[in-house]
Structure 1
């Protein structure tokens, strides 16, 4: 047919109509010139539609326009448009600067394109230190002002006592100390506040050292003949081994036995806790009313199977509380359970429930697995690419650590090690933001923050503020010399958050990172490799993680 080659418009304008072949009605697919009818029939209808308005079947078109489906569709689209415009007008009404939100999605497309870390740097550079952004339709105030951070996290922590979230954490996970709200959080905090005490950490040091010995052996295998390898993989295995041993009391070797059922279930829990939270949070950000729907149906990012698996572990340990087993954090929690007779005698307050213990096991896995691995990998990267700093640290370790003396005090008392770790956490904080939610209308440093507003602190951008940190993208441990720290605003450095809701396990996290690097530097010298990406490209999510791994080489000391 001629019009298939030349195009429908050309055919309409250059060919005549055969009146005898007119049809009363014909459905044409306007996205293509092809049709099951003969070319003449299509041409007749098309030309009449374009050139003879009197032919247009007005009643049929009006019936379609006025049909219930069309009415519902138009009304729905108009409602979505008006709702989105209304939700995205809040910050302009409050006079808070920020980027123009994308229709429905707000700033989310920018995160997907540029990543959270570099988006925050750009936002603070462009709009200042008090910014309004939208996660879908959920308004979020981004605060990078040190005094406002102090007010929110310390002086007005009673108003900002709860962490912000796009959705309510339902079911078992809602009983984790880091995720609970109000009085439940206060109760859990009292019960678990000493779980990461110095004495308790010292008790699990032998287990930590065993995991590090395993890591050293695995690195030796990977680095045969001086070849480079992804150091990040070994950090991930070490982190998993620590979690299984330190939290649950089960010795594993995740590098050599990845099919171990405990490792597989822990990995599934970690994925569910992170990807699942992002998925549910995204749904509620785009459609805030879904928050109540998910809450009503008790929707959780973790599957029922995962919850039951770790509940069984908790139940077994509670029932075997008198058995002689190694020290771990699960043992500590079961000692504070409702089933523990000593707990009831000593305290009028109730003990921890089975669900609360399970929730905290799961959260330690979800929050601790990747963050610990990332921090250790970035620390190794910084030392491998700054050999003078590495040599100075090795000298300090050799002069201060007696063989076998790897206790809490001996590790935490190394001043240069503390500088190196602190500078790494400045450059690559485990979480790129931390957040709070206002429980009531409040004025902070002259700025009005309405009730239920999510407040987010961009840690990555805060730690690279050129007004505070000279040459902020450079690795310089001397930034944490005592005289430098004294000159700096206290809340310019918050790698684990601030105030009563700061990272619950920060003390343990810093210790295990320090212990790991001390142990590794007693066996190896870290070197950059041809594959080493400088600087590492970060993934686009909310964690500081190297997108392409951390490729290094090692030499035996």
Structure 2
């Protein structure tokens, strides 16, 4: 009935011949797009690569893959069925999944210069090559190499040692909050996860960005958690649209403004806060600079230049040498990247470690004895002293191996 009424309305306002041409045009486009989708979803079959059956003509395997947001378990399940190398369709993205050590070594080591960008999220409509706001996670090719070289050079042992007082201060604040919550609970039970998130955010925001927010009361952390809160693609018409139309990026990248009303809007608010911080830093006098603690952003700001001074090669292979410079837009993106990349992963790594120690009390006791034998006071809690705790180091590595983080963020390190 609705279609009949709509057709009648169109007939009333649009002359018959023009309406026929419009309907014919839409029908031809629809059939052509349907054929395109069928062809797109036959890629792996044509290449002889095993793959699970698609759930959606538009979204490929995304509905099943993201169900329950436990993608890592679904990949393991498919591996048992299709072998150590298989393909999946993330909407428009054709993804090869492999646990074959030789193939992984070929891609990430031997042919590293050719595989030069990180896999995007399915719903991302980012122009990795030309968008001025790209950060280390989203950049590709020689821009990625330039940003990585610069950021890596800022994360030196000297820089890490310089933030030890900040880390000690945050730990004292966290332990104070935990003691208060333990005393307030009748059973003395404390949920550590929120406090670990507060800890990770406080250390990174204070040491990297110079934030001065009270522990556990940061509005920026609330924004960050909202930004990280990922939903299944099928539950968002916007994400579904971008995931299924990536091959039309030259057009869809201009539709990104719609995303400002969703998660990306929160990301923009974080970016705006970073820009205000950078504006304030640029206006500082020498006296003001010397009166505060130095952080990673000070180092990166010294390497900031106008975009006209940066020439990233667009050739397929990575350059041997790159400029250790970045633009103001890239600097703002890097600030947000520090928060996003560090807060959640630091909290989760620490949380998994605490869990593993709780269920392996013999290892917990051995680590306690190792700490007692090497750390005698707060002054001993330094980079070099902690580095000497071999059992603790091996336990952290094993816990990280058992509980992989950010499993859907794949690409060059």
> TM-score by structure 2 length?
0.78
- Corresponding residue number in structure 1 for 2:351: 377
Q: Superposed, which structure 2 residues align to 1:422-437 within 5 Å?
A: 422-436=397-411
Task: Give per-residue Cα distances to partners, 1:489-528, cap 9 Å, x unaligned.
Answer: xxxxxxxxxxxx31xxxxxxxxxxxxxxxxxxxxxxxxxx
Farther off after superposition, 322-331 or 66-75: 66-75
Matched, 1:232 2:193: yes
Question: Quick one: which of 202, 210, 217 aligns to 1:241?
Answer: 202
Task: Give per-residue Cα distances to partners, 1:77-113, cap 9 Å, x unaligned.
Answer: 5444322211110000100011111232211111233
CA change 1:366–1:290 in 2 (3 A) is farther
- Corresponding residue number in structure 2 for 1:291: 249
Question: Quick one: which of 266, 273, 279 aligns to 1:315?
Answer: 279
Matched, 1:163 2:127: no
Partner Cα distance (2:224, 2:251) in 1:
23
Unaligned runs of 5+ residues in structure 2 are 4-15, 307-321
Matched, 1:333 2:300: yes
User: Is the CA contact 2:146–2:325 (under 8 Å) kept in the aligned structure 1?
Assistant: no
**SS of the counterpart of 1:193?**
helix
Q: Superposed, which structure 2 residues align to 1:194-273 within 5 Å?
A: 194-224=153-183, 225-255=186-216, 257=217, 263-269=218-224, 271-272=226-227
Question: Quick one: which of 70, 73, 97 aligns to 1:118?
Answer: 73
- Corresponding residue number in structure 2 for 1:452: none
Matched, 1:147 2:133: no
User: Is the CA contact 1:169–1:179 (under 8 Å) kept in the aligned structure 2?
Assistant: no
**SS of the counterpart of 2:66?**
helix
Task: Give per-residue Cα distances to partners, 1:400-431, cap 9 Å, x unaligned.
Answer: 12312111121122111112111111121121
- Corresponding residue number in structure 2 for 1:104: 58
Question: Quick one: which of 137, 145, 151 aligns to 2:92?
Answer: 137
CA change 1:277–1:360 in 2 (3 A) is farther
CA change 1:294–1:205 in 2 (3 A) is farther
Give the structure with the larger strand fraction.
1
Matched, 1:359 2:326: no
- How far residue 127 of structure 1 moved from its aligned partner, in angstroms, is 0.9
Q: Which of these two proteins has the greater Rg computed from alpha carbons?
A: 1
- How far residue 321 of structure 1 moved from its aligned partner, in angstroms, is 6.7
| Aligned residue-pair number | 363
CA change 1:321–1:390 in 2 (3 A) is farther
Q: Superposed, which structure 2 residues align to 1:54-65 within 5 Å?
A: none
Q: Superposed, which structure 2 residues align to 1:343-358 within 5 Å?
A: 351-358=325-332
Partner Cα distance (2:39, 2:207) in 1:
49
Partner Cα distance (2:74, 2:158) in 1:
41
**SS of the counterpart of 2:95?**
strand
Give the structure with the larger helix fraction.
2
User: Is the CA contact 1:172–1:358 (under 8 Å) kept in the aligned structure 2?
Assistant: no
Q: Superposed, which structure 2 residues align to 1:65-76 within 5 Å?
A: 75=28
**SS of the counterpart of 2:119?**
coil
CA change 1:417–1:253 in 2 (3 A) is same
Over the aligned positions, Cα root-mean-square deviation in angstroms equals: 3.1
Matched, 1:90 2:65: no
Matched, 1:368 2:329: no
Partner Cα distance (1:321, 1:201) in 2:
25
- How far residue 305 of structure 1 moved from its aligned partner, in angstroms, is 4.1
Partner Cα distance (2:386, 2:93) in 1:
44
User: Is the CA contact 1:205–1:407 (under 8 Å) kept in the aligned structure 2?
Assistant: yes
- How far residue 268 of structure 1 moved from its aligned partner, in angstroms, is 2.0
CA change 1:269–1:383 in 2 (3 A) is closer
**SS of the counterpart of 1:435?**
coil
User: Is the CA contact 1:321–1:334 (under 8 Å) kept in the aligned structure 2?
Assistant: no
- How far residue 290 of structure 1 moved from its aligned partner, in angstroms, is 4.3
Partner Cα distance (1:304, 1:119) in 2:
32
Partner Cα distance (2:194, 2:268) in 1:
29
- Corresponding residue number in structure 2 for 1:549: none
